[in-house]
Amino acid sequence: MSAAALHAQWLTYLASEKRASKLTVRAYGDDVERYLDFLGRHRGGAPDGAALASLGAGDVRAFLAARRAEGLAARSLARTLASVRAFHRFLERRAGLANAAVMSVAAPRQPRTLPRPLAAADALRTLEEAGATGRGLAGPAWERARDEAVLTLLYGAGLRISEALALTGADVRPQPTLAVRGKGGRTRIVPLLPAIAAAIARYADLCPYPLAADGPLFLSTTGRPLGARHIQKIMETLRIQLGLGPRATPHALRHSFATHLLQNGGDLRAIQDLLGHASLSTTQRYTAVDEAKLMAVYDAARAR
């Protein structure tokens, strides 16, 4: 069977059986499509199933080196390798095309980076400016209320943009908690603080379009599902208006949620659950942020 046919079967498997999100299927599919295109050039012809089973570790390393030469960062290279491995696992389980050499390739070492949260005052200013009437962003009142509600979910509940935009009209109703479907299809329960509920209710009252219980909660100007790029552009505008600098991104609001909880005595395990992290080590990065801040204060005091 051709590699293209196997690739198509794998994408169907990801979407229908693994129930991966559309974004995940697209990202993994693009990675493996580039992989197969590279193998066709690298080996002098489009590979079939037998060729995929006979690949060596050097073939995969050559592919990763080519992607690195194109400017791909270490984190993106690691995701690319994860896509390739997932594809080969599928080939082994569904077609008996095992390849231990491919599975033995190590992922690129990741640089240690710390989350970059905003100060609490700056995070609150961002939310206020997003929904302010008569200043800040242009646009109808319902759009400003919508943008404020989305950003409030990122900072007040620690949601990712994709998670906030995946909420439905059923989430408008008053409730003490919110069920959020995160990465890997995992569902977590987060508290719906009064400020978040009020922001969502204000948007729902002003929205000119009906919000169906099984439809998207956040809608665009044309009544279609709101896209993540819109929220990113809103934050770009706000950070310029408020002089916050390039670190003020939508995801920085989620980082701020976790960091400010930790700084105020939040339990690390509880924060892990609220963020939907599969591993505690991911959440532990926020303790390093606190340590870095403490050392900066200490160094400043010694310099006086």
What is the per-residue DSSP string for 54-89? T--HHHHHHHHHHHHHTT--HHHHHHHHHHHHHHHH
Vertex 245: Cα angle to 242 and 182 (nearest 5): 95
Annotated active-site residue in 183, 247, 260, 285: 183
Annotated active-site residue in 89, 251, 260, 285: 251
Q: Is 230 a catalytic residue?
A: no
Provide the pLDDT for residue 135.
47
What Cα–Cα distance (Å) separates residue 246 from each residue in 235, 239, 289?
10, 7, 18
Domain ranges in the chain are 3-103, 120-299
Provide the pLDDT for residue 269.
83
Q: Is 183 a catalytic residue?
A: yes
**Highest mean pLDDT range out of 20-29, 211-220, 282-291?**
211-220
Averaged pLDDT, 187-207: 92
Q: Which CATH superfamily is domain 120-299 in?
A: Intergrase catalytic core (1.10.443.10)
Kindly report the average pLDDT of the chain as a whole number: 85
Q: Is 254 a catalytic residue?
A: yes
Annotated active-site residue in 146, 239, 254, 255: 254
Phi and psi at 80, nearest 5°, equal -60, -45
Q: Is 277 a catalytic residue?
A: yes
Provide the pLDDT for residue 31.
93
Question: Is CATH 1.10.3720.10 the classification given to domain 3-103?
Answer: no
Provide the pLDDT for residue 115.
63
Annotated active-site residue in 160, 230, 239, 255: 160
C-alpha 250/C-alpha 169 separation (Å) is 22
Overall pTM > 0.75: no
Averaged pLDDT, 93-101: 91
Annotated active-site residue in 28, 35, 203, 286: 286
